[in-house]
Amino acid sequence: MTLTESPSLLVAGIGEMVLSSSSDAHLVAYGLGSCIALAAWDPRAKVGGLAHFMLPNGPANGGSPVKFIDTGLDNFLRAMEAKGAVLNRSTFKAAGAAAMLTVGGGLAIGKRNADAMATALTERGLTLTATALGGNAGRTVQLEVADGRFLIKSLSSVSEL
């Protein structure tokens, strides 16, 4: 299994989200370190979204719609609903949150991101159905809108959540 290169490739850069209801769309976030990519997929509406969150919290006017989990998650969820997704039947998968950077007294940003994502989803009555969080290696992820497959590529492998 390989990550796809195609004209239907939509890339979520840091602080960005991409959404699609096209069955040939491939949603990608490259080079996740301590960042978290959150994939959402509604199997009935066949709507997928991928958000690339950088930090657990920050100012509401951070300049990017999903730069911060605390202010950006609702932007992402509203965008999914606007595309026709129903959140309580959607699956949510996350990857990233590696121990790449530390701040202050050694507080790992990746762990803070993972904790913030889990808390934020729980507060909204949503849960992660699969994760590839932590570790110390970067990842690239891809969501297949046609079937909800979430592919994760590290330096040495490609796997599916």
Establish if 2 belongs to a structural domain.
no
Three-point CA angle 19, 24, 25, nearest 5°: 25
Establish if 1 belongs to a structural domain.
no
Establish if 160 belongs to a structural domain.
no
In total, the chain counts a number of residues equal to 161
Q: What is the pLDDT of residues 46-80, one digit of tens each?
A: 999 999 999 999 887 667 899 999 999 999 999 99
Establish if 4 belongs to a structural domain.
no
What does the pLDDT read at residue 95? 97
The stretch 26-30 carries a mean pLDDT of: 97
Establish if 84 belongs to a structural domain.
yes
Confidence check: pLDDT of 92 > 50: yes
What does the pLDDT read at residue 158? 72
What does the pLDDT read at residue 101? 53
Q: Which residue range(s) make up the domain with 72? A: 9-155
Query: Active-site residue among 12, 18, 25, 35?
Result: 35
Establish if 61 belongs to a structural domain.
yes
Establish if 3 belongs to a structural domain.
no
- The CATH number linked to 143 is 3.30.1330.200
C-alpha distance from residue 135 to each of 3, 83, 88, 89, 102 (Å): 21, 33, 29, 30, 14
95 noted as active-site residue:
no
Establish if 41 belongs to a structural domain.
yes
Three-point CA angle 118, 123, 129, nearest 5°: 45
Q: Number of folded domains in the chain?
A: 1
Q: What is the pLDDT of residues 103-158, one digit of tens each?
A: 555 568 999 999 999 999 999 999 999 999 998 889 999 999 999 999 999 876 67
What does the pLDDT read at residue 2? 47
* DSSP letter assigned to residue 55: B
Cα-to-chain-centroid distance, residue 122: 16
